[in-house]
Structure 1
């Protein structure tokens, strides 16, 4: 990415720690520290944003959109850099988060969709969101627009799949690791990021090692929709959750993120397990009741045998909580395999 946002002053502690120009090995981030007459440096870090190199200075007033963005910052110990958060109604209450105490230190800015006016009015210098979820052409808040306003931005790598103009793609969990590494570079906490990524990869490897034996268990994720189901395709975290746990997503070959499918395709696939995505404003039980009462889906193996697994919204979007979601679903699949594959 080319730089469009002006540099901002780093904190004194961070500036004094950056005494030289160095090249970081992780994700190709380059740090430049030009010296001024006072002997204190102004530091910029070049980090990719969906395939485009951008020069970042350390943000001090970040706005984070949805729980996934907030959790990445909090997991890296960056609470002091978070001005506030925007959480639409689908997001579960913050008191259910492992970082509930960190949310309390920031400001709840809105329960609406992310918009440019909110960011400008808050005097933010950094916005963390995904493409088509937080950032949006139609709503007039894109990284390019924020660049012209001198506001830095960071997009979830998982969402780069359908970001126009750039070709960077990651599998969903690799996108999570990439985000933590890049945020670590932007904020100068690379060691924290490396430790987190190492921990998460080890936890994923442990799940894979203990996946149920035999053919992968066929899984359908039901997001919402009655006339047609909205579901998880290949490019979103639930696909990795399903496959690492020992299942196969019945729409896992579809090259998309969240996508509309057909009930005919669901019926044909005969899923053994159905993941119900739990929204704060769309309870899982309502979706289960629909699947049981709808003649088209009532005879599905998963419905007949009551094989439903409820997945929390913040474990399904790109977030450190993806790992918790994986471990929980893997435990469920183990129990399923033991009871149905004897």
Structure 2
């Protein structure tokens, strides 16, 4: 996975016009976004731990599938100008919202940068901290503020955001994002419905989780000299725990992070989750684990207990719950 992880002047279009011009009705995906002259287009919503005043965006740029999926799930296609999709992200045609992706522009197949946002005349950018927004690449909320371009960060990525950190468990961070985006775009009822549905699906999986000691699970993202894995600040940690397993690196208060093979060996995982994405296919990772002297004797490898998690089920977005349902079913059928 790229993005966060070690990896992986513009004018805003006028948002406020006359009261009548400001009123709009979004029919795409069944969500209504409207102002009637009595309601303000402004809303104060947290961006990580920082309260920020937003006006309803009309020209949004989304970075990666998780950002776009959140917007599409809320019925906001008409407010999305385009998306930036790095090589790691699987093809958008595989998305449950493939028809919505087809209605907007693909702006780049590289990492998020300021130029693509400015060229798009964006008035809103959705991405994660250090997974999209980046000091090193010169695109941060602070920089965009100076350009009068609004921005929103995934709460899941906020735990170490400078000056304004915010820490929530990954699934709660997902629900928080959907609720906050609902406020920004004035679709609170739609966001409540979406969040309620996701919560119910989550609870249904948890209720059926296998009893007894949780299954020790190692998530393998990438890396041969040292493995890249999931700490407790990313969605796979919640996917594993809610399904009835235990992330063997759940004590690491980090997002995507590097560990050593000795610690993996010591943890004796009974299941390995393979994070599957475009430029690092799952089959090659499994072949490596089966051949490497450091991993071929792991209980999970010897029993061929591999579960493949799609990239967009592993990064913050509505498809996290798809991943949870699939992994929950896998653990319920696991022969221990």
How far the C-alpha of 1:12 sits from its partner, in A, is 1.8
How far the C-alpha of 1:280 sits from its partner, in A, is 0.9
- Contact 1:7 1:44 (C-alpha < 8 Å) held by counterparts: no
Q: Secondary structure at the match of 2:133?
A: coil
CA gap 1:169/1:297 in 2 versus in 1, 3 angstroms: same
2:12 pairs with 1:12: no
2:269 pairs with 1:271: yes
Which of residues 320, 323, 326 is equivalent to 2:318? 320
2:203 pairs with 1:196: no
CA gap 1:171/1:6 in 2 versus in 1, 3 angstroms: farther
How far the C-alpha of 1:17 sits from its partner, in A, is 2.7
Q: What pairs with 1:85-164 in structure 2 (closer than 5 Å)?
A: 85-164=83-162
How far the C-alpha of 1:228 sits from its partner, in A, is 0.4
How far the C-alpha of 1:224 sits from its partner, in A, is 0.2
CA gap 1:263/1:16 in 2 versus in 1, 3 angstroms: closer
Q: After superposition, give the CA deviation of every residue in 1:278-323 in whole Å (9 maximum; x if it has no partner).
A: 0111110000000010001000000000000000000000000000
Q: After superposition, give the CA deviation of every residue in 1:202-252 in whole Å (9 maximum; x if it has no partner).
A: 111111110001100000000000000000000000000000000000001
Q: What pairs with 1:276-295 in structure 2 (closer than 5 Å)?
A: 276-295=274-293
- Contact 1:7 1:57 (C-alpha < 8 Å) held by counterparts: no
RMSD between aligned residues: 1.3
Distance 2:216 2:247 in 1: 6
Q: Secondary structure at the match of 2:132?
A: coil
Q: Secondary structure at the match of 1:56?
A: strand
How far the C-alpha of 1:6 sits from its partner, in A, is 10
Greater relative contact order: 1 or 2 (C-alpha under 8 angstroms, separation 6 or more)?
2
- Contact 1:250 1:271 (C-alpha < 8 Å) held by counterparts: yes
Which of residues 159, 180, 202 is equivalent to 1:182? 180
When Rg is computed on C-alpha atoms for both structures, the one with the higher figure is 1
TM-score, scaled relative to structure 1 = 0.89
Distance 1:150 1:166 in 2: 20
TM-score, scaled relative to structure 2 = 0.91
CA gap 1:157/1:6 in 2 versus in 1, 3 angstroms: farther
How far the C-alpha of 1:165 sits from its partner, in A, is 1.2
Structure 1, unpaired ranges of 5+: 21-32, 34-42
Q: What pairs with 1:210-289 in structure 2 (closer than 5 Å)?
A: 210-289=208-287
Q: Secondary structure at the match of 2:158?
A: helix
Q: Secondary structure at the match of 2:218?
A: strand
Q: Residue in 1 aligned with 2:206?
A: 208
Structure 2, unpaired ranges of 5+: 1-11, 25-32
* Displacement over 2 Å in runs of 4+: 5-8, 13-18
Distance 1:299 1:228 in 2: 17
CA gap 1:283/1:19 in 2 versus in 1, 3 angstroms: same
Q: Secondary structure at the match of 1:17?
A: coil
